[in-house]
């Protein structure tokens, strides 16, 4: 995949780029594997905004992906499709029983390729098998945290994990963040990196394009009034913050941990923060 630049016909188009859709082989998704996506606008079940700066955007249908294909599945890739809900491309596959599924499209996956989900599947792009049967050093994606739960790690465009070590009980997997963590040896993983690797190089270019993606504007606190943000207020022109960086509600945001990790971190061998070990 390559990144295609627009002609500079306007200030917004200058520097704007888009994806190359040459790898996409169809325009319409399979109706039976789609559902209406209702916009929650960043709100929880009580209607309160939990994620700011979300709302609007174009209407989209959600594609139902199967991240936990049953062992013994042998399928053929029929189409490579665009998914507006994720950065990666998706592949429509048809298994030996005639059922169709959506899966993540690995790099280099094309229509006609065979995909196997077996205990002893060959080490080829797109095949899925347990970590215990994958050679150390292999690049993988859609890794299960728990056996049978479905792929959860390394699913975005261009991302991949690497199997660095394994024993009789667990395997060590290096994640895209650099973190090395333990995963069950029977957890399934797909071979190869995820496709659409140039997604990170796309330049949005204009505010309107961002709004169509469902992302609303973000305003800095220092330019607000004092009643709206702790950083706001003050006479004259530009000024620095008079206090440590905080949210509009006064909670610290830099250098202050706000996340409560109730889960254990005993499975993390090496933290994603360089120089730190768990």
- Give domain limits for the chain: 21-197, 219-278
Q: Tell me, what's the pLDDT at 241?
A: 84
The torsion angle over the Cα atoms of residues 138, 158, 130 and 96, rounded to 10 degrees, is -120
Q: Tell me, what's the pLDDT at 275?
A: 58
25-72: pLDDT as tens digits = 999 999 999 999 887 788 998 999 999 999 999 999 999 999 999 999
Q: What angle do CA 194, 199, 203 make, to 5 degrees?
A: 175
Q: CB count, 10 Å around CB of 196? A: 25
Q: Tell me, what's the pLDDT at 37?
A: 85
d(CA 251, CA 258): 9
Locate tokens 């319409």: which residue?
28
- The rounded mean pLDDT for the chain is 92
Supply 231's token pair: 């950083």
d(CA 191, CA 142): 9
- Looking at domain 21-197, which CATH architecture does it have? Beta Barrel (2.40)
Q: Mean pLDDT of residues grouped by 10 in the chain (278 residues)?
A: 88 92 93 88 90 91 95 96 96 96 96 95 95 96 94 96 95 95 96 95 94 94 92 83 89 82 84 66
Q: Tell me, what's the pLDDT at 234?
A: 85
Distances from the Cα of 203 to the Cαs of 86, 141, 189, 258, 264, in angstroms?
A: 17, 26, 31, 31, 38
pTM of the complete model beyond 0.85: yes
Pick the closest to residue 141 from 113, 105, 112, 101 (CA basis).
105
Q: Tell me, what's the pLDDT at 1?
A: 57
d(CA 143, CA 187): 7
85-96: pLDDT as tens digits = 999 999 999 999
- Looking at domain 219-278, which CATH architecture does it have? Irregular (4.10)
DSSP of the chain, one letter per residue? --EEEPP-SSTTTTT-EEE--TT---SS--GGGEEE----TTB-TTS-BSSSSB------EEE-B-SSPPTTEEEEEEEEE--TTSSS-EEEEEETTS-EEEEEPBTT--TT-EEEE-TT--S-TT-EEEGGGSPTT-EEESEESSTTS-EEES-STT--EEEEEE-SSEEEEE-TTS-EEEEETT-EEEES-BS-TTGGG----SHHHHHHTTB-----GGGS-TTT-TT---SSS----SSS-B-TTS-B-SS-------S--TTEEE-SSTT---
């Amino acid at each position: 995949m390559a990144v295609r630049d627009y002609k500079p016909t306007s200030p917004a188009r200058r520097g704007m780029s888009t994806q190359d859709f040459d790898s996409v082989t169809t325009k319409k998704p399979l109706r039976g594997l789609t559902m209406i996506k209702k916009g929650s606008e960043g709100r929880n079940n009580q209607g309160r905004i939990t994620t700011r700066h979300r709302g609007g955007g174009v209407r989209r249908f959600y594609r139902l992906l199967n991240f936990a294909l049953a062992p013994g599945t042998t399928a053929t890739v029929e189409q490579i499709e665009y998914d507006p809900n994720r950065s990666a491309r998706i592949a429509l596959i048809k298994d030996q029983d005639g059922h169709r599924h959506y899966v993540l499209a690995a790099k280099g996956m094309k229509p006609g390729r065979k995909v196997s989900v077996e205990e002893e599947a060959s080490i080829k792009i797109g095949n899925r098998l347990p970590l215990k049967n994958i050679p150390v050093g292999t690049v993988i994606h859609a890794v299960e945290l728990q056996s049978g739960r479905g792929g959860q790690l390394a699913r975005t465009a261009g991302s991949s994990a690497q199997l660095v070590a394994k024993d009789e009980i667990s395997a060590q997997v290096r994640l895209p963040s650099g973190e090395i963590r333990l995963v069950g040896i029977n957890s399934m993983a797909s071979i190869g990196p995820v496709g659409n690797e140039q997604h990170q190089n796309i330049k949005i270019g204009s505010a309107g394009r961002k709004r169509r993606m469902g992302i609303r504007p973000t305003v800095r606190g220092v330019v607000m009034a004092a009643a709206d943000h702790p950083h706001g207020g003050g006479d004259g022109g530009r000024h620095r913050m008079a206090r440590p960086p905080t949210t509009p509600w006064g909670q610290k945001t830099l250098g202050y941990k706000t996340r409560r990790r109730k889960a254990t971190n005993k499975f993390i061998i090496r933290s994603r923060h360089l120089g730190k070990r768990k």
